[in-house]
């Protein structure tokens, strides 16, 4: 029976490259000259810790990071910028989380979307991914198109297609 997996993963090396390119660009920008700026990637927790002089520079820093990551092939939806910047002494700090894996509630949304589509496939949640089974590969490809066209706010990858 044909099947495939829906997952949401961020390549750690591409993320590291995006952070390094962002550091390099910020050091060369005129508006960041002589201001305290720090960007640190915590690979274990998948967190990016940002530090800038004020809120405006923090917003610019986040924007540059997301743009550079997008050029590295990382979806802008992979970044969790919901935590607001907070003052810390003379600087402003912010933690940007990187979404890695599909959370339980997002997996439920995906399975609900697939079941409501009326396609003859079964979707089941397996830890941080969703496995989709069907009798026809055409139905599985229709599920992939359905997930891509839906506004899920997640960077999805479709892998392990088996026939």
Domain check: are 68 and 134 in the same one?
no
Domain check: are 125 and 63 in the same one?
no
Domain check: are 110 and 38 in the same one?
no
Give the per-residue pLDDT at 130: 92
Domain check: are 76 and 110 in the same one?
no
Number of domains in the chain: 2
Domain check: are 113 and 87 in the same one?
no
pLDDT tens series, the chain, 163 aa: 899 999 988 889 999 999 999 999 999 989 888 888 999 999 898 999 999 988 999 999 999 999 999 999 998 989 998 888 888 888 999 999 998 889 999 999 999 999 999 989 999 999 889 999 999 999 999 999 999 998 888 888 898 888 7
Give the per-residue pLDDT at 32: 86
Final residue belonging to a domain, choices 98, 122, 153: 98
Final residue belonging to a domain, choices 98, 126, 148: 98
Range of the domain at 67: 12-98
Q: Where are the beta strands (DSSP E) in the chain?
A: 3-7, 38-42, 47-52, 79-80, 86-88, 91-98, 121-126, 129-134, 157-162
Domain check: are 50 and 116 in the same one?
no
Domain check: are 37 and 20 in the same one?
yes
Give the per-residue pLDDT at 48: 94
- Quote the pTM value: 0.83
Q: Supply the CATH number for residue 114's domain.
A: 3.30.70.860
Final residue belonging to a domain, choices 98, 124, 147: 98
Domain check: are 16 and 75 in the same one?
yes
Domain check: are 16 and 94 in the same one?
yes
Domain check: are 36 and 86 in the same one?
yes
Domain check: are 27 and 71 in the same one?
yes
Instruction: Note whether 125 and 3 are within 8 A (CB).
Output: no
47 bridge partner residues: 42, 97
Q: Supply the CATH number for residue 24's domain.
A: 3.30.70.990
Domain check: are 42 and 89 in the same one?
yes
- Please report, for residues 102, 118, 124, 132, 147, the alpha-carbon distance to residue 142 in angstroms, rounded to integers and kept in the order given: 20, 11, 17, 11, 9
CA distance from start to end of the chain: 6
């Amino acid at each position: 029976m044909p099947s495939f997996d829906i997952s949401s993963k961020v390549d750690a090396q591409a993320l590291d490259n995006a952070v390094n390119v962002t550091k390099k660009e910020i050091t060369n920008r005129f508006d960041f000259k002589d201001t305290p700026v720090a960007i640190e990637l915590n690979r274990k927790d998948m967190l990016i810790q940002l530090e800038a002089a004020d809120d405006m520079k923090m917003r610019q820093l986040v924007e540059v990071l997301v743009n550079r990551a997008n050029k590295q092939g990382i979806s802008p939806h992979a970044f969790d910028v919901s935590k607001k910047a907070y003052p810390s002494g003379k600087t402003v700090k912010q933690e940007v989380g990187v979404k890695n894996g599909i959370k339980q509630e997002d997996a439920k949304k995906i399975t609900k979307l697939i079941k409501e589509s009326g396609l003859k496939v079964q979707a089941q949640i397996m830890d941080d991914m969703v496995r989709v089974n069907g009798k026809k590969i055409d139905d599985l490809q229709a599920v992939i198109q359905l997930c891509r066209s839906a506004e899920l706010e997640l960077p999805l990858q479709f892998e392990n297609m088996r026939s």
